[in-house]
Structure 1
Amino acid sequence: MAEALVAAILQQLATLTAQSASRQLRLVRGVEAEIENLESNFKAIQCVLEDAEEKQLVNKSVGLWLERLKQVSYDMEDVLDEWQTFLQKLATKSDEVEVFIKKKVCPFISCFQFPHQVVRRHDIAVKIIEINGELDKIAREKERYQLATRSEMKQPRRLESTSFVDVSKLHGRDAVKHKIISMLLGDNSGEGNIGIQTISIIGMGGIGKTALAQMIYNDHKVRAHFNKVIWVCVSDFFDQNKIARAILGGLDIQDSTNLQTLQNVLDKICEKIQTTRFLLVLDDVWTDHDEDWEPLRATFQHGMPGSRILVTTRKESVATGLGSSRSQVFHLNHLSDEVCWLILNQMAFVGEDDDELRKSLEDVGREIAKKCKGLPLAAKTLGGLLREKKNRNEWQNILNSELWKLNVAKEYIFTPLLLSYYDLPSEIRPCLLYCALFPKDYTFVPNEIIKHWLAHGYLHSSHSRMEEEEIGEEYFNYLASRCFLQDFVKGQDGKIWRCKMHDMVHDFVQHLTKNEIVAMAVDGSENWSLESSSSYRRAHHLRLMIGKDYQLFHESINGTEKLRSLVTMGSCDVGKDAWQVLFKRAKYLRLLDFALLRDHRYSMKVKEIPNEIGKLIHLRYLDLSYSEDLRHLPEEVCELKNLQYLNLNNCGRIVKLPDGIGKLMNLRCLRTSGYQWLQ
């Protein structure tokens, strides 16, 4: 997330500096040099962030360095936002601005005419100087970690797959295996010149794509049908020459040293496949660039009719690019709990003949299998972990543990997901990580999550507002096509209406954001706040589940000074005094959502909004829906110049909006009773 933060800050600096210069609204003397130094530091740090993102996985010191950078970046973003808001407010006071510009008064003399403006500019300047001092230290420390500049992210090393597999350990894929084999061995008549058919297996990391391909590759019917079966692990670094030579080797042409160019190799492949019916398995394909595949794809057009290509990938775009039609694409479903138990049981009790021990642990084991959520890799990993644990308490501890906190999960289960994460463009990664704020099994609605992303500045665009929302839709679809989302419900136009995130992916993003996004349930058994833990103090996003005790909310908002998001679930009534405390403390809030689950049974009840809400100058998103007792909004709401989204759905007692509602210059959506959007 640090990379996206730094990029956003540099963009804001450029924009605001230009605005300030055009209006001759400079900060106090000397700060211009500070801003130049600040920009220089951020640019120097930006060059090594990709290297730091990877090294933090094995070097805790680099991880701590990145945490410090993120904190400073957040602080800087808040200051720039304050500066932007200040300029917006000046712009609305056209007469004052005109006089100010005509006189070109220096900052010190102008304090007599515009004291509030000068004080505000001085405060912003002081904050910039303080932040720059800390950033200077961070920039110097990067040399200690020998961070390198990279043109592209190097993903964690993936072990090369092979065609060998122990079929006895594979469960739950027989039906899809038979369908694919039937398609591979299908009638070849009428193929003509349409080229070699490509069948694609798509699924998230750890779902069993490679294992299924291995089963098919080793099936006796398949091996009897094709003259040659070839296995090529493509993996994360795409090398046309390497792949072509691997295919050539699979065609029994071992000596290709005299073939010096890619064209020589492709010519030899073309010559061989014209008289050889072959099955080519391309495992773990990542690249979806047409230009990468075009030479190989053109060569395959000369293949003998009846030949086939089988691809495993995590990307829809790969299947499309390699020519798989809709009927030739197989999305792997999750395994049942019963099948996960079979896998876990097999791994946990390998070589164990004690049936009594097996029976005594079966009930706990089945519950652990449910935690795998249909992911065979998770079942294998947890089964291996349980192999050395022979008593019920040890199994119970695994059952009661958060999966994302287990070292074995981080090392084995999350590694495939980490590959997918680093394959994402850096600007999309914060959008994925932000999803950790929502509970498991949450139903994502594209329009709503996009507004969250927009509120936090994840959708950067120099164009119109509508284009920013289009960027959000593009990001959402990108995540969906990379198997980070699932269970899609689509409209007739093919667009996604709603979907969910697999629990394992949710655990993964929780792991990556453990110090930044906090989810807490407060039931009254203990006092809790962000101040209660040193790690929680670095949190910027909080999901809070509170029972019916109103006092719990009052106590839980201690330590919220750095919060940017607060989303709540619960059914307690929030009083005016608690709101006053929150608004005074959490002055950097950009998002307040008191109806996260869109259900009146789990929505916080807001009876009255105090005038202090006008202090939340950074606020972009405010959801007060299902607050049936809320009668009015104070005029101070109209001071929220950055507010983009206001949801008053099912606030039936509000009969009139504030008189100054038209002052909300950045308001994009106002939702009132029912489902009507006012743009």
Structure 2
Amino acid sequence: MAGLGKTTLATRLYNDSYIVSYFYVRSWITISQVYHKRDLLLDMLRSVVGITDEVCVMNDNMLAQLLYRALIGRRYLIVIDDIWSSKAWDDIKICFPDDNNGSKVLLTTRFKDVALHAEPGGNPLCLRFLTEEESLDLLRRKALITPRFFDYLSLIGKSIIRKCHGLPLAIVVIAGLLKNNPERDWWLHVAESVSSYIVTSENQCISTLALSYDHLPQHLRPCFLSFGAFPEDHEIPVHKLICLWIAEGFIHLNGTNKILEDVAEDYLMDLISRSLVVVCKKGLDGSIKTCRIHDLLRDICLSKAEEINFSSNMHKYNKHSFSCSHSSTSSTKSQLSLSTSAVLAIPPSCSCYSSEVSHTFFKDVSIIWDTSKLIRSLDVSSIELFVFPDELLQLVHLRYLELRFRSGNPPECISDLRELQTLIMSSRINMVVPKNMWKMISLRHLCIKSGENPVNFSSFEEDLCEIRWLDR
């Protein structure tokens, strides 16, 4: 059953101070229903030895051998979260050497036969539903209600947790509605609204969890629904998420003295406090770096988006967003087709994601748009381009753009994108920023990821909220 706490338990183990000191190497990968072996190998290598250009061009067998050599002789802990099939385990198990030195591989899965396939004759830990006492204690702690106030709310609390049927995720999400609010009338209202269905299937569980969306303030609803744009179990960089929210017009100042970025961060913290968004990684200063949502909550995002026509194509989103054809001959022009039938579109916007073609080089790219020019957000950084696609200049309403070049510079005419707020570009070698880029009066964030040579700013202004240039 989803939401029983498998990933939560694995996370507590993974981050335990004794575990951290005992294992020389730790790596965490999430597989989910749709996976690609190459992505899994690269994710593990990224945390074990790091990723270089030489590693990126290796085939799957070479990557597996490199990972095996990196782990051999070292005591390691590999967490494989949310594995759905025995085949997925068979694809990667050869990468883990058995040196009898205390190394461990920890799996979380919804299927007992997958666990037994990984270790025949083993005794996998099957998580149970919480008892009424455990459920009530979890509700109190997550709702941040002191024992003194909770005493006279306990009868209502028992009514609520009975309808959650011991599912930790449901209890935590409902607690987000009750957090810091000991008003008896509000608790009664929530108790009456919680689905009374017996939780025997995920669909019935979703009807309980959807209550949190129904009680979201209007300004948070589009922000929450936007999480459906990202792949299942995908860790989302907070900086990118905030820029996309601003680009889509989800953030409103409403007379405050804060800037849009600060308001967007407040929105995110509100969603986190409601237990709708999970914090994945934090920086040394305590700031949130990445976040994600539970796959059941993502299902709610997709169903609600379709229900209210927030996005007519969000439910069609998948990792195979790109339809590409290319040839090694320079005379053949490659085509990159982006259509609303295959690419997530949040009207009037478009956001693209693909990992399958992340290391494909396109020497001459023709982008075929089967959608409106009213696109606001576009991320094609998973493809390494040789030139800046002229077709992008037609998207005059573009507010967020992320690109990756093998070499080359953005053209002078990029300043025609007057509405652009966030521009993220990366290149293997030195990149020259054209002078007239500073005429883009809406530009708020400029991030340049340069190669071995420093970025050459032919002109420099300090009008932006943020200017970043990074050496890879």
TM-score using structure 2 length: 0.53
Contact 1:564 1:590 in 2 (8 A): yes
**C-alpha offsets along residues 325-381 of structure 1, whole Å, 9 cap, x if unaligned?**
xxxxxxxxxxxxxxxxxxxxxxxxxxxxxxxxxxxxxxxxxxxxxxxxxxx95x725
* 1:506 counterpart residue number: 298
Q: What is the rounded CA distance, in whole Å, between the counterparts of 2:397 and 2:282 in structure 1? A: 36
Q: What is the rounded CA distance, in whole Å, between the counterparts of 1:295 and 1:479 in structure 2? A: 19
Q: Tell me if 1:561 matches 2:373.
A: yes
* 1:616 counterpart residue number: 417
Q: Which amino acid letter does the alignment assign opposite residue 219 of structure 2?
A: E
What pairs with 1:497-536 in structure 2 (closer than 5 Å)?
Answer: 497-511=289-303, 512=305, 513-515=310-312, 517=314, 520-522=320-322, 524=324, 528-530=337-339
What pairs with 1:424-435 in structure 2 (closer than 5 Å)?
Answer: 424-435=216-227
Q: Tell me if 1:212 matches 2:9.
A: no
Q: What is the rounded CA distance, in whole Å, between the counterparts of 1:201 and 1:582 in structure 2? A: 56
Instruction: State the Cα distance separating 1:611 from its structure 2 match.
Output: 1.9
**2:396 pairs with one of 568, 571, 587:** 587
**2:434 pairs with one of 615, 623, 634:** 634
Instruction: State the Cα distance separating 1:646 from its structure 2 match.
Output: 0.4
Contact 1:638 1:658 in 2 (8 A): no
Instruction: State the Cα distance separating 1:463 from its structure 2 match.
Output: 5.2
Q: What is the rounded CA distance, in whole Å, between the counterparts of 1:418 and 1:551 in structure 2? A: 46
Contact 2:238 2:288 in 1 (8 A): yes
C-alpha distance 643-467 of structure 1, shift in aligned 2 (>3 A): closer
Q: What is the rounded CA distance, in whole Å, between the counterparts of 1:510 and 1:295 in structure 2? A: 28
Q: Whose strand fraction is larger, Structure 1's or Structure 2's? A: 2
Q: Whose helix fraction is larger, Structure 1's or Structure 2's? A: 1
- What SS does the aligned partner of 2:218 have? coil
Instruction: State the Cα distance separating 1:638 from its structure 2 match.
Output: 1.3
Instruction: State the Cα distance separating 1:617 from its structure 2 match.
Output: 0.6
Q: What is the rounded CA distance, in whole Å, between the counterparts of 1:588 and 1:291 in structure 2? A: 46
* 1:151 counterpart residue number: none
Which 4+ stretches in 1 moved above 6 angstroms? 181-184, 198-202, 294-297, 311-314, 491-494, 531-537
**2:466 pairs with one of 669, 672, 678:** 669
C-alpha distance 313-201 of structure 1, shift in aligned 2 (>3 A): farther
- What SS does the aligned partner of 1:498 have? strand
**C-alpha offsets along residues 243-291 of structure 1, whole Å, 9 cap, x if unaligned?**
xxxxxxxxxxxxxxxxxxxxxxxxxxxxxxxxxxxxxxxx989455747
Larger radius of gyration: 1
- What SS does the aligned partner of 1:649 have? strand
What pairs with 1:289-438 in structure 2 (closer than 5 Å)?
Answer: 290=181, 292-293=183-184, 380-381=201-202, 412=204, 414-438=206-230
Q: What is the rounded CA distance, in whole Å, between the counterparts of 1:637 and 1:624 in structure 2? A: 13
Q: What is the rounded CA distance, in whole Å, between the counterparts of 2:385 and 2:374 in structure 1? A: 24
**C-alpha offsets along residues 93-147 of structure 1, whole Å, 9 cap, x if unaligned?**
xxxxxxxxxxxxxxxxxxxxxxxxxxxxxxxxxxxxxxxxxxxxxxxxxxxxxxx
Instruction: State the Cα distance separating 1:644 from its structure 2 match.
Output: 0.3
Q: What is the rounded CA distance, in whole Å, between the counterparts of 2:343 and 2:352 in structure 1? A: 18
Contact 1:530 1:537 in 2 (8 A): no
**2:131 pairs with one of 177, 184, 189:** 177
Q: Which amino acid letter does the alignment assign opposite residue 450 of structure 2?
A: N
Residues paired across the two proteins, number? 308
Q: What is the rounded CA distance, in whole Å, between the counterparts of 1:208 and 1:657 in structure 2? A: 62
What pairs with 1:252-263 in structure 2 (closer than 5 Å)?
Answer: none
Instruction: State the Cα distance separating 1:555 from its structure 2 match.
Output: 3.1
Contact 1:431 1:453 in 2 (8 A): yes
Q: Which amino acid letter does the alignment assign opposite residue 216 of structure 2?
A: L
Instruction: State the Cα distance separating 1:433 from its structure 2 match.
Output: 2.0
Q: Tell me if 1:461 matches 2:253.
A: yes
* 2:449 counterpart residue number: 649
Q: Which amino acid letter does the alignment assign opposite residue 385 of structure 2?
A: D
**C-alpha offsets along residues 387-425 of structure 1, whole Å, 9 cap, x if unaligned?**
xxxxxxxxxxxxxxxxxxxxxx5xx56433432222111
Instruction: State the Cα distance separating 1:292 from its structure 2 match.
Output: 3.2
Contact 1:647 1:672 in 2 (8 A): yes
Q: Return 5+ residue gaps in structure 1 as ranges.
A: 1-170, 185-192, 215-282, 298-310, 315-375, 382-408, 595-602
* 2:267 counterpart residue number: 475
C-alpha distance 285-501 of structure 1, shift in aligned 2 (>3 A): closer
Q: What is the rounded CA distance, in whole Å, between the counterparts of 1:543 and 1:463 in structure 2? A: 33
TM-score using structure 1 length: 0.38
Instruction: State the Cα distance separating 1:642 from its structure 2 match.
Output: 0.3
C-alpha distance 632-654 of structure 1, shift in aligned 2 (>3 A): farther
- What SS does the aligned partner of 1:673 have? strand
Q: Percent identity?
A: 20
Contact 1:530 1:560 in 2 (8 A): no
**2:384 pairs with one of 547, 569, 572:** 572
Contact 1:634 1:658 in 2 (8 A): yes
Instruction: State the Cα distance separating 1:570 from its structure 2 match.
Output: 2.4
Instruction: State the Cα distance separating 1:450 from its structure 2 match.
Output: 2.1
C-alpha distance 531-508 of structure 1, shift in aligned 2 (>3 A): closer
Q: What is the rounded CA distance, in whole Å, between the counterparts of 2:193 and 2:407 in structure 1? A: 48
C-alpha distance 200-427 of structure 1, shift in aligned 2 (>3 A): farther
Contact 1:528 1:555 in 2 (8 A): yes
Q: Which amino acid letter does the alignment assign opposite residue 375 of structure 2?
A: L
* 2:56 counterpart residue number: none
Q: What is the rounded CA distance, in whole Å, between the counterparts of 2:264 and 2:449 in structure 1? A: 23
Instruction: State the Cα distance separating 1:629 from its structure 2 match.
Output: 2.8
C-alpha distance 524-473 of structure 1, shift in aligned 2 (>3 A): closer
**C-alpha offsets along residues 479-522 of structure 1, whole Å, 9 cap, x if unaligned?**
11222212544568765443221122223323414426556522
Q: What is the rounded CA distance, in whole Å, between the counterparts of 1:509 and 1:211 in structure 2? A: 23
Let me know the Cα RMSD of the aligned residues: 4.8
**C-alpha offsets along residues 551-592 of structure 1, whole Å, 9 cap, x if unaligned?**
79523445451210001242432413x2x2211x21110001
Q: What is the rounded CA distance, in whole Å, between the counterparts of 2:342 and 2:396 in structure 1? A: 21
Q: Return 5+ residue gaps in structure 2 as ranges.
A: 1-125, 139-146, 169-173, 326-334
Q: What is the rounded CA distance, in whole Å, between the counterparts of 2:298 and 2:186 in structure 1? A: 39
Q: What is the rounded CA distance, in whole Å, between the counterparts of 1:293 and 1:426 in structure 2? A: 24
Q: What is the rounded CA distance, in whole Å, between the counterparts of 2:415 and 2:299 in structure 1? A: 37
Contact 1:652 1:673 in 2 (8 A): no
Q: Which amino acid letter does the alignment assign opposite residue 227 of structure 2?
A: C
C-alpha distance 441-293 of structure 1, shift in aligned 2 (>3 A): same
C-alpha distance 564-465 of structure 1, shift in aligned 2 (>3 A): farther
What pairs with 1:12-411 in structure 2 (closer than 5 Å)?
Answer: 172-173=127-128, 176-177=130-131, 180=134, 197=151, 210-212=164-166, 286=177, 290=181, 292-293=183-184, 380-381=201-202
Instruction: State the Cα distance separating 1:528 from its structure 2 match.
Output: 3.5
